[in-house]
Amino acid sequence: MSTTGAFCADPGNGYLAIPLDGNIVIFSPGSTATTILLSASIFEAGVTEQIHKLASGLRLYSPHVDPAGFAVSEKLESIAREAKRLSINEEDRVSYLKVADNALGSIQSVLQRIRELAIKASGGIYTEDIREIIQSEINLLIQEIDRISRDTEFNTLVVIPDVSAASIGIDHVDVVNDLWNSIYYVDQALGKINRKRALKGAEENRAYVRIDGLNHYFFNILTSQSLIRDVDIAWESAVMDKNFIMLKMNMNILDKILAE
């Protein structure tokens, strides 16, 4: 005989009713069967609780389990998400800085070519006509600097908006009429680009430091949250086994009582 069917109680007078073989058996308060049923209901609730925890993997699967702990866990969840997002932002910034550095590197290469041409023009063996041809290539290279500065973007953002031929003074280069100052202008421009690349490199290093710090912070927050929120599988399994055994024992005893 099994008594696993639903039972009901009148909380006003403590009577319990159990459906049995198509009939309703009433137990009075204080009877052995009533005590057994109340005990069984407690162990059944415990088994259900452990099943919820083990199935979800969470000790705090619902706020009612531990309201204060649940509130702390949710706060830690918000902090962890913020730290992760900030870390991703810094990673995106590193990508942005790399694009900017590549653009500056391209401009640096162009400047080196302009310098070579200026030095070539200063050889003393070229006529003014030849120097004008050299200047024509320099003019195209100066235009290339402006193109690189204007067209290099990251997510539609211009990465080096403060760099142009005029801003670095390269637009003054004229190997036909002002040869020696032209080499000086190129050297000054190279110095400006070198400083900008160095600053970009420093910013990138700082971003890596921040990423490392934020990732450590993120994992520490997750660990703290896990200690509060996540289920101890071994412990909850042991508790569920105990409650299940106690429930089964109570139901076996009740079966014997109803059989008498």
Asked if 9 and 28 count as a contact pair (C-beta separation under 8 A), the reply is: no
- Let me know whether 93 and 210 are in one domain: yes
C-alpha to C-alpha distance for 129 and 134, rounded to whole angstroms: 9
Residue 158 has what DSSP assignment? E
Whether 179 maps to a domain, the answer reads: yes
The residue among 45, 57, 163 whose CA lies nearest residue 100 is 163
Please report whether residue 94 resides in a domain: yes
Three-state SS at 8? strand
167-226 residue pLDDT tens: 999 999 999 999 889 999 999 999 999 999 999 999 999 999 999 999 999 999 988 888
Domain region containing 36: 8-57+231-259
Q: Could you tell me which residues are beta bridge partners of residue 9?
A: 16
For 89-107, write each residue's pLDDT tens digit: 999 999 999 999 999 999 9
Query: Which one, of 112, 130, 113, lies nearest residue 121 by Cα?
Result: 130
Helix (H) or strand (E) holding 196: helix 179-229
Residue 62 domain flag: no
Amino acid at 203: E
112 and 215 together in one domain: yes
List helix spans (H) across 57-173.
Answer: 67-121, 128-151
Alpha-carbon Rg for the chain in angstroms: 40
According to the model, what pLDDT value does residue 42 have? Answer: 72
Tell me the per-residue pLDDT of 109-151, one tens digit each, with 9 for 90 and over.
999 999 999 999 998 888 999 999 999 999 999 999 999 999 9
* pLDDT at residue number 249: 74
* Average pLDDT value over all residues in the chain: 82
For the chain, the domain total comes to 2
Answer yes or no: pTM beyond 0.75.
no
Return the ∠ at Cα 59 (arms to 54 and 62), rounded to 5°. 105
Which H or E run contains 24?
strand 23-27
CATH at 179: 1.20.1330.10
Please check whether residues 246 and 128 belong to one and the same domain: no
